[in-house]
């Protein structure tokens, strides 16, 4: 009998292109809490370090430059920064600071 392995879903950061392993149950619970579909959570995932920089008020391009992302691996996005923060925050989030 072949050995069955659980394939853990990977999340890819929309800003940096970095990937991380996740748990399907965690994704389902978070999506339910936010009132969105798991697919939207996966599509608009942003890493913790990129979210931290967004909250500081950096632009997407500034974050990509600072965190050394590979532009070829990063998908195009059509979503507002406020929505990215809402989807990727643990709970309440602060408004991003304005860039001067």
Pairwise CA distance, residues 55 & 82, whole Å: 10
Expressed as residue numbers, the domain containing 81 is 10-88
Please name every residue paired with 12 in a beta bridge, in sequence order, or none if there are none.
19
67 CA to centre of own chain: 14
Q: Per the domain annotation, does 97 fall within a domain? A: no
How much is the pTM? Answer: 0.69
CA distances from 60 to 15, 24, 33, 43 (A): 7, 27, 26, 16
- Splitting the chain (100 residues) into consecutive groups of 10 residues, what average pLDDT does each group show? 62 88 89 90 89 88 83 59 76 49
Q: Per the domain annotation, does 100 fall within a domain? A: no
Residue 3, Cβ density class (10 Å: 0-12 exposed, 13-18 middle, ≥19 buried):
exposed
- The pLDDT of residue 70: 64
Q: Per the domain annotation, does 99 fall within a domain? A: no
Tell me phi and psi for residue 82, to 5 degrees. Answer: -60, -40
Q: Per the domain annotation, does 33 fall within a domain? A: yes
- The pLDDT of residue 37: 92
Number of domains present in the structure of the chain:
1
């Amino acid at each position: 009998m072949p050995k069955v392995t659980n394939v853990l879903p990977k999340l890819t950061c929309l800003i940096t292109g970095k990937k991380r392993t996740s748990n399907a149950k965690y994704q389902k619970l978070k999506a339910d809490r936010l009132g969105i579909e798991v697919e939207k959570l996966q599509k608009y995932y942003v890493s913790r370090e990129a979210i931290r920089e967004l909250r500081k008020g950096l632009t997407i391009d500034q974050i990509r430059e600072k965190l050394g992302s590979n532009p070829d691996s990063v998908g195009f996005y059509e979503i507002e920064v406020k929505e990215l923060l809402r989807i990727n925050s643990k709970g309440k989030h602060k408004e991003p600071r304005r860039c001067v």
